[in-house]
Structure 1
Amino acid sequence: MKILPSLAAGLAGALALTALHETVRRLRPRDAPRLDLLGERALRQLLAGAHADQPDDQETYFLTMAGDVVGNALYFSLVGSGLHAPRRGLLLGLAAGAGGVVLPGPLGLGTAPSARTPQTQAMTVAWYTVGGVVAGAVARALRRRH
């Protein structure tokens, strides 16, 4: 596995996921997943547990977005650079989307941001799947290029 192409593919998937999420949440605020809120809640819990100062809302949002892009890029970089990267991207995206629906409640982050309606749940899984598919497609394209 080549590291730079895998990281580039992961970053492409993470940016696609973030762009899709941010666009749809502005267009369909009632049903769209609010993955940004899950990230903000997680950040605030971590800072509270460390007895650190809480940032203001705008700083929390930007820190969360940066953390989401970095974390998702690293996750989606697991597609690798091999022949089966698109299939791995699809499976990674489905797994992340399912986790995004199922895990927030048990983690104490609430369920409404990613599971409030069946449409919200479907969009959560779909957005992560799109990110994984993009990562896989970019990994395959970079492999063919070299």
Structure 2
Amino acid sequence: MSEIQTVPESRRFLSALGPGLAGALSVTLIHEGARRVLSHPPRMDVLGKRSLKKGLRWFGVRPSHGRRLHRQALVGDIISNSLFYALVALGRPRRPYLRGVLLGTLAGVGAVLLPPFLGLGRSPRRAKRSTALLTVAWYLLGGLSAARATRTV
């Protein structure tokens, strides 16, 4: 009788966090860089601050302000996006780019359409069409970055 070698689920998930972090960092870096140079960039940092404030208030905690709130929102974005993009590295190792494209596109479309429904103010799609397209493109880039990172693990 032959033994089948299986990797424990917790170990697979931990190894998927590396590519997830690569995807999250690429999205965060492009957002932060673009908001400093573009006239109408997607302001996912603003949505991050709003969601952090809303969550903290729900728990009865007084949220921070200014730069401290901005840093906390960035850390929260990196953590949540890392967990999301880690899904790219889970599953069959033969198709990470397909998962990266699907998950990145899904995240981008969600970032464009969901903010008003979540009580986070108006969505980026109402600002300019180019803003919405950049949002989807950048999250897609994050999915592709996570997929590429699976090839190096």
Per the normalisation by structure 2, the TM-score is: 0.86
Contact 2:89/2:146, CA 8 A, preserved across alignment: no
2:140 aligns to what?
129
Instruction: Name 1:5's counterpart in structure 2.
Output: 15
3-state SS of paired residue (1:105): helix
Residue type at the aligned position of 1:21: H
When structure 1 is superposed on structure 2, of 66-75 and 42-51 the one drifting more is: 42-51
Residue 105 (str. 1) matches residue 98 (str. 2):
no
Counterpart CA distance in 1 for 2:58 and 2:139 is: 28
- TM value normalised by structure 1: 0.90
| Structure 2 unpaired stretches of 5+ | 1-8
What is the aligned partner in structure 1 of residue 40 from structure 2? Answer: 31
1:86 to 90, 97, 100: 97
**Aligned residue runs from structure 1 range 31-50, under 5 A:** 31-50=40-59
Structure 1 segments unaligned to the other structure (5+ residues) = none
Runs of at least 4 residues off by over 6 Å: none
Q: C-alpha separation between the residues in 2 aligned to 1:4 and 1:48?
A: 31
Is 1:71 aligned to 2:91, yes or no? no
**For 2:94 and 2:16, how far apart are their aligned partners in 1?**
12
Is 1:117 equivalent to 2:97 in the alignment?
no
Name the structure, 1 or 2, with higher relative contact order (CA <8 Å, separation 6+): 1
1:16 is aligned with what amino acid? S
8 Å contact from structure 1 (residues 10, 79) kept in 2:
yes
How far did 1:57 drift? Answer: 1.5
Deviations 1:92-128 (A, max 9, x none): 000000000000011111125x221101100110110
> Greater CA radius of gyration, 1 or 2?
2
Identity over the aligned pairs, expressed in percent? Answer: 37
| Secondary structure, counterpart of 2:117 in structure 1 | coil
Aligned partner of residue 53 in structure 1, secondary structure: coil
